Chains A and B, each alone.
Chain A
């Protein structure tokens, strides 16, 4: 099999984007590579799937049988329980960094800078504290330093962030964040969640 390590990463349940592994990502963008992998994965009831923008690749079930449905159901409930803390974290970072945009794949986070900005601002401190205490991030530290590190660690564990150097506190946002937002958008449409656009737009300004 020519794409052994790539297959293994996919089989391990990873989301592959241009940030996590550029090499794999370029390969997966090619139709013939994906078709080859699909053929190989057929007996495992898997196929290569992607989001609308083709920025993230992952494995999906080919035929959705009963155990698959059960697994997907459980997985969804895990995602849903972590959704609010993740969204809160995104708005916290946006506000702390005074940025126009929500983090997206390829953005970098300098944790030191984030910590300094949080230290200086009581409202941000409070938000970080609330985030860190959430069971998803699961920190019971009191110091901004420890809280921020724990939050980042959990995000790395869940594949939303990448830490290129283990001993340096800067992180790169992976395509999984975009996947999460795609999912949020999907759920909003699917559940007809009345997000009052005009109202919040005023708030945002």
Chain B
């Protein structure tokens, strides 16, 4: 009974000290986090008394005579685990130690059982449970940390080479963890738990199940880490290739590759054939395809019509100009025709004036000059001829047309008309 009392006293003392020290951590949370991030505590930022208390509480320590104050390792580890800071988190796979502890507790419990010390049996059983929990939770924690690193793609380090190193470190850890798992000998545990159902359940069935799960998880993480490592290495290789080749080409601007295409064995990668465009035209030699073509052509017409509309709209101003020009030309033509008519009227008047049957024929060129008309002689003669030929036959007979002409050359019968003269002869109509 005295033992039990002493133990509870001890426990209550432990409780109080623990609670007090945890509170101390809480009170100096910011200071401690700064120390965690910087590597040492800023002594100036904390009172002498607090510093002493923190050191006494085994939270901080002074490594040597220097004034530098640091966080103790377990505190650093606590923070690293709480914030899953993978670069600082360490995984301790000291399975052997824990197995020795479990063996010790089981022996202690058996001893207490033999001596009939129920309290000690219970407390030893509690310790065993804790030790087993400690053992498995350590793997759990490690596996969680590994998955975390994997899923964040080792984002806690900034460059690829560091990632490759971290990945290597993680793979080493897995190896150690798997080795640690293999240290757990279930045959031994079966023996240890002999005849004690509670112990058997704890040490054999439950532990075995958990260890199997962990083992499976570790193998899975390992596989994924190896895959990721391969990818990292590929990325590294590509980066190096690109950077180095770019550097090389920059330094050797006149670099030329060999005549790969004229080798007997043309390299596979180089052999990329020239494009062949598969074009086709409309063919009407298959009657059954015509129903398909007709709407196509119709739609094409519509498109063309639309296009034409757009074209005329844009060229409207153009056509106005053209119209104006055309009108001017027409007006001149009309004037020419009128002048020619006037010439014939002049011929008639001349005949009436003279009252003679043998009035002199009127030369077309003379008339042109008299009236000071601006037509070129050639155009004028042509128009007069045209006008004469345009008259109805009976009116034509009223005029006598004289051509003043001469042969163009001795070798053919081409005659050039130099002038035309016309005389009015009313009696021939009679």
Contact = CB atoms under 8 A, between A and B. Distances in A.
Interface string A152-188: 0000000000000000000000000001011111111
Contacts of A185: 241
A193 B245 contact: yes
Interface residues of B, number: 39
A143 interface: no
A205 B242 CA distance: 15
Contacts of B243: 91, 200, 203-204
Given A186-B267, A186-B269, A197 B244 contact: yes
B269 A183 contact: yes
Contact of B269 (A70, A100, A101, A179): A179
A90 B242 CA distance: 8
A22 interface: no
Nearest to B253: A84
Given A51-B269, A87-B246, A100-B160, A184 B241 contact: yes
B268 interface: yes
A61 interface: yes
The secondary structure that dominates the A interface is helix
A73 B259 contact: yes
Nearest to A4: B278
A182 B269 contact: yes
B273 A76 contact: no
Contact of A101 (B238, B258, B276): B238
The secondary structure that dominates the B interface is helix
Given A11-B276, A44-B276, A72 B238 contact: no
B260 interface: yes
Interface residues of A, number: 55
B272 interface: yes
B273 A188 contact: no
B240 A73 contact: no
A102 B238 contact: yes
Contacts of B256: 80
A94 B260 contact: no
Contacts of A197: 240, 244
Interface string B324-359: 000000000000000000000000000000000000
Contacts of B269: 51, 179, 182-183, 186
Contact of A188 (B239, B241, B260, B270): B241
Given A100-B159, A181-B238, A204-B239, A188 B245 contact: yes
Given A70-B261, A190-B260, A196-B244, 8 more contacts: A64-B271, A72-B266, A72-B272, A76-B260, A100-B239, A195-B247, A195-B248, A204-B239
26 contacts: A11-B277, A59-B273, A60-B268, A68-B273, A69-B261, A69-B262, A71-B273, A80-B256, A83-B249, A87-B242, A87-B249, A91-B243, A100-B239, A101-B235, A101-B238, A101-B239, A181-B241, A184-B241, A186-B269, A188-B241, A188-B245, A190-B258, A195-B241, A197-B240, A201-B240, A204-B160
